[in-house]
């Protein structure tokens, strides 16, 4: 069995997407019959235990070298900067029999441990105004270093892979595409929708926006659409979930709240914050439609969830959403509030006139098939990287 290392340092709910990505991948690997790789998680001594919930039957190794401000972490940083090689991490990996480090940056051009880097997207190339000069420099430096020194690089979409070929053509032979899928949905573990309605005070048909409140997620366009509809005396109910903190713009959520008050649409926009995943899935299943108005995505988990559950979804018309191609998707330009307002009205009218849809019997079978395909594709990338 080939041991593959993953370093997980997420510490809070602002990184739910990243945490769920690793959970989906690692649990999918364990589902493979006669699998050839064995994932091992490395994390800090003080990492939040809740972060690691759900990683069942996975070896977890804790070390102070991953704890920010710990003396060993500081020494590791200084030696790495001096030698341009992460000898502390190399020693830890070799000590635990790791053959390959995955979804991490390079650990040194002279290291004999193969590495698979992961670049979700090139958002900073398209939306540079959303980043500070320091963030732009750090992202560009990391991406160049990863492409140069990692053995292979994984992208979540063909769109991101094309961007990489454009910006770093000399490393294109290292590039691999691995679109992730959402399969870890337990339909038997969902609370009754009546309980959900009571808990969150839901009394009318609603649209759901399950995105973090980050600037590029573009909640603003939804508020503009609601304002248009209010002026026409048309009421639409929107429910939004997710973390409110955006490190790039800490005042963004407050800005949205002020807009809601200015537009007098507080009765149309309900915010629930971060909620349990099984509650979220039940809200998705019973919504009029999901909305993802994002300016940019690497590969949208929201879209994948809508696909596997065959839900209606209103999408910003960006390349990666077209690539994901949900069966029941409808598109609008991310700055076209009128188009979104029209889609909200049309979708609600259709919802009110149709018999409540039932999920197809093959939902669980589709999830199992996608899970195995996802894991097998990843395993093949690992095997090809080790033999390079």
* Ordered domains of the chain (ranges, CATH): 2-181+369-386 (3.40.50.2000), 187-357 (3.40.50.2000)
Residue 109: the pLDDT is 73
Residues 244-271, mean pLDDT to the nearest whole number: 93
Greatest Cα-to-Cα distance within the chain, rounded to the nearest angstrom = 68
Query: How many CB atoms sit inside 10 A of residue 99's CB?
Result: 18
* Alpha-carbon distance values, 89 to 6, 108, 151, 166, 196 (Å): 12, 10, 17, 32, 46
Residue pLDDT, tens place only, 139-172 = 999 999 999 999 999 999 999 999 999 999 999 9
**pLDDT score of 82 more than 90:** no
What integer is the mean pLDDT of 17-22? 77
DSSP string over 115-164: EEEEE---HHHH-GGGS-HHHHHHHHHHHHHHHHHSSEEEESSHHHHHHH
d(CA 28, CA 375): 5
Average pLDDT across the chain, whole number: 90
Please tell me the predicted confidence (pLDDT) of residue 128.
Answer: 94
Average pLDDT over residues 24-47: 90
DSSP string, 235-266: ---EEEES----TT-TTHHHHHHHHHHHHT-T
Asked if residue 1 lies in contact with residue 99, where contact means CB atoms within 8 angstroms, the answer is no
Which DSSP helix (H) or strand (E) runs through 226?
helix 220-231
Question: Six-digit token pair at 270?
Answer: 């309900």
Question: Tokens for 44?
Answer: 């800090």
What's the CA gap between 93 and 40, in Å, rounded?
Answer: 10
Measured in degrees and rounded to the nearest 5, phi and psi for residue 289 equal: -165, 160
- pLDDT over threshold 70, residue 327: yes
Note the pTM of the prediction, 2 decimals.
0.86
Instruction: Please state, in angstroms and rounded to a whole number, the distance separating the CA atoms of residues 202 and 77.
Output: 50
198 burial type by CB count under 10 A (0-12 exposed, 13-18 middle, 19+ buried)? exposed
Over residues 268-294, the pLDDT tens digits come to 999 999 999 999 999 999 999 999 999
Count the Cβ atoms, other than its own, within 10 Å of residue 164: 22
Is the pLDDT higher at 72 or at 54? 72
Q: Phi/psi zone of residue 57: left (φ > 0), alpha (ψ -120 to 50 degrees), beta?
A: left
Higher per-residue confidence, 224 vs 361 = 224
Residue with tokens 């294109």: 172
Predicted local distance difference test score (pLDDT) of residue 5: 97
Q: What is the pLDDT of residue 50?
A: 65
> How far is 95 from 107, CA to CA, in rounded Å?
16
Q: Which of 315, 298, 297 is nearest to 306 (CA)?
A: 315
Q: Which two tokens stand for residue 13?
A: 């709910």
Q: Is the pLDDT of residue 243 over 80?
A: yes
Q: Is 201 left (phi over 0), alpha (psi -120 to 50) or beta?
A: left
Q: Quick one: tokens of 286?
A: 């019973």
Asked if 379 and 35 count as a contact pair (C-beta separation under 8 A), the reply is yes
Compute the chain's Rg from CA coordinates. 22
Q: Rounded to the nearest 5°, which phi and psi values hold at 169?
A: -60, -30
Which DSSP category does 274 fall into?
Answer: S
Query: Residue 181: which region, alpha, beta or left (left: phi > 0; alpha: psi -120 to 50)?
Result: beta
Cα separation, 262 vs 22, in Å, equals: 40
10-19, 80-89, 308-317: the lowest-pLDDT one: 10-19
- SS3 assignment for 313-347: EEEECCHHHHHHCCCCEEEECCCCHHHHHHHHHHH
Q: Span 320-329, mean pLDDT? A: 95
């Amino acid at each position: 069995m080939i041991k593959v290392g993953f370093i997980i340092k997420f510490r809070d709910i602002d990184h739910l997407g990243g945490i769920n990505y690793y959970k989906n991948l690692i649990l999918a690997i364990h589902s493979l019959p006669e699998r050839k790789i064995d994932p091992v998680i490395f994390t800090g001594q003080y990492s939040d235990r809740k972060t690691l919930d759900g990683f069942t039957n996975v070896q977890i190794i804790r070390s102070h070298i991953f704890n920010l401000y710990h003396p060993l972490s500081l020494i590791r940083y200084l030696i790495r900067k001096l030698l341009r090689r992460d000898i502390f991490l190399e020693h830890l990996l070799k000590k635990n029999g790791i053959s390959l480090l995955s979804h991490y940056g390079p650990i040194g051009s002279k290291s004999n441990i193969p590495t698979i880097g992961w670049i979700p997207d090139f958002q900073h190339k398209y939306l540079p105004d959303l980043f500070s000069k320091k963030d732009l420099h750090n992202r560009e430096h990391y991406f160049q270093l990863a492409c140069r020194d990692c053995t292979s690089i994984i992208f979540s979409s063909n769109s991101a892979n094309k961007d990489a070929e454009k910006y770093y053509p000399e490393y294109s032979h290292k590039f691999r595409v691995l679109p992730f899928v959402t399969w870890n949905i337990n339909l038997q573990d969902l609370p009754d929708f009546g309980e959900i309605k009571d808990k969150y005070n839901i009394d009318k048909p609603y649209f759901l926006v399950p995105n973090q409140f980050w600037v590029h997620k573009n909640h603003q366009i939804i508020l503009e659409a609601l304002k248009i509809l209010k002026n026409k005396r048309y009421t639409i109910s929107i429910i939004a979930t997710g973390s409110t903190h955006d490190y790039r713009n800490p005042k963004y959520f407050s800005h949205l709240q002020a807009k809601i008050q200015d537009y007098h649409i507080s009765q149309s926009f309900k915010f629930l914050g971060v909620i349990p995943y099984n509650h979220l899935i039940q809200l998705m299943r019973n919504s009029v439609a999901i909305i993802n108005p994002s300016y940019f995505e690497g590969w949208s988990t929201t879209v994948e969830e809508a696909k596997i559950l065959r839900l209606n979804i209103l999408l910003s018309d960006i390349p990666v959403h077209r690539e994901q191609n949900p069966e029941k998707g409808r598109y609008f330009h991310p700055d076209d509030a009128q188009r979104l307002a029209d889609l909200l009205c049309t979708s609600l009218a259709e919802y009110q006139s149709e018999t409540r849809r039932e999920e197809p019997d093959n939902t669980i079978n589709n999830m199992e098939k996608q899970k195995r395909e996802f894991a097998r594709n990843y395993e093949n990338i690992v095997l090809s990287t080790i033999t390079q």
